[in-house]
Amino acid sequence: MIYLEAEAREAVIEAGHRLREAGLVARTWGNISARISEDQFVITPSGLAYETMRPEDLVIVNIQDGSHQGSRKPSSEKGIHADAYRLRPDIHFVIHTHQNAATVFGIGGMDLTKDLPDILGDCVPCAAYGLPSTKALRKAVAKEVEMHPESKAFFMKNHGALCLGTDETEAFKVSAALEEACGKQLTFLDKRIRAASGGRAKDFGKSVRSGHRFLLTWKGMKKIYDLKRLPKDMPEAAAIHAAIYKKYDVTCIYHEKSREVRAWSRQARTLRPYVDDLAQIGGVCIGCVSGMVRDEIVDGLNNCNAVCLFGNGALCTGKTRDDTLAVAMILRKGALSALYAKTLSDCEPISKPDARLQRMIYLHTYSRKKEDSGVCLKS
């Protein structure tokens, strides 16, 4: 049943909250829509977080020509949603996510046909790679939607997943079922990651900066340092944070020590992105340094927001706390993707030209340069 406009707006907002609580979307990543007539749907706007989004923020889009109504800009992937509604009259709700397990499995470019729950049908097809928001990606996804009229979930290679439903409830169930099915396909990596992650990581601490001072949390202690009057006897962790702040325009540093990132850091290899969002938010080539030489760590962050430390995870940076934690979150998915890729016979990272283009667009167009109002230094 096609939604009434007011019902559709409420359903999209509700879906955003449900997906966020389930860990299937974060920040402004992904997009959600609902059909309101044979010719129109409402969709989430570009660059607005799900937790602050209101029904009136959604944008009405025309299915046939992509034109839209309202003051806000619709999601840049509106064309993919339009094609889903155009090709599948039975579909009234569409969710596009960058959910972890499905995104990681999708880097292999393979359809998923094994051990699928009934709601996913007999096949989850994989659409060919295309740069985000391009005609190439839209065409690739539309091809799979048209060729698999019984499927309700689709991989978007190196990008994410598309989930369809007759209503919000079904589309959410499809997204959750897809994540569970892909998670099962990746369980064989668990033992390898535990073995490869090594012992307990050395603590490099986390910090937040305000002006010329920064608050370091390290080994359970908190201390404020002044970049203009640094003590000569400060711990090496503090010296590393100070050196990063002196060289880069960042306000937060976080030591990411998850098993996936520690396991990758022990590879002592550059991490190239297999997923779009790592190229955008983390960097084109995330290096790995010994973690023992301060200058190597600082230099490793040149043109990146993360650097791997051999056997000790990675240091992540950002202009706000939220940005920094986003880098850490994406780095975990990026490391898992790279470890999974090593088990596949023919799986290449995103090309450097494509990665550079996405990084540039993110930094100059999508990355909001804002002050972190939550910074308050207290020892």
Residue 372 confidence (pLDDT): 39
Residue 369 has pLDDT above 60, yes or no: no
Q: How far apart are CA 309 and CA 271, in angstroms?
A: 12
- How far is 72 from 59, CA to CA, in rounded Å? 7
pLDDT, tens digit, for every residue of 184-195?
A: 999 999 999 999
Residue 368 pLDDT: 52
User: What would the pLDDT profile of 349-361 be if each residue is shown by its tens digit?
Assistant: 999 999 999 999 9
Sequence-distant contacts of 306-309: CB under 8 A, at least 24 apart: 306/256, 306/282, 306/331, 308/261, 308/264, 308/265, 308/271, 309/202, 309/204, 309/265
At 371 the pLDDT is: 41
Q: With bands split at pLDDT 50, 70 and 90, how would you rate the model's confidence at 41?
A: very high
Across the range 304-313, mean pLDDT stands at: 96
- Percent of the chain whose predicted confidence (pLDDT) is above 70: 96
Mean pLDDT across the chain: 93
The pLDDT value recorded for residue 367 is 56
Contact 40, 61 (CB under 8 A): yes
pLDDT of residue 12: 97
For the CA atoms of 273, 327, 340, 290, what is the dihedral angle to 10 degrees?
Answer: 90
State the catalytic residues.
Answer: 77
The mean pLDDT of 42-60, rounded to a whole number, is 94
Query: How confident is residue 201, by pLDDT bands cut at 50, 70 and 90?
Result: confident
CB pairs under 8 A, 24+ apart, for 236-241? 236/294, 237/203, 237/204, 237/205, 238/205, 239/294, 240/204, 240/294, 240/297, 240/298, 240/315, 241/205, 241/207, 241/214, 241/216
pTM of the model: 0.93
Q: How far apart are CA 216 and CA 254, in angstroms?
A: 10
Please report, rounded to a whole number, the percentage of residues in the chain having pLDDT higher than 90: 88
Report residue 366's pLDDT band, with 50, 70 and 90 as the boundaries.
Answer: low
In this prediction, residue 87 has a pLDDT band, given cuts at 50, 70 and 90, of: very high
In this prediction, residue 149 carries a pLDDT of: 96
Asked whether the CA dihedral 303, 100, 321, 227 is positive or negative, the reply is negative
Q: Does 6 have pLDDT greater than 80?
A: yes
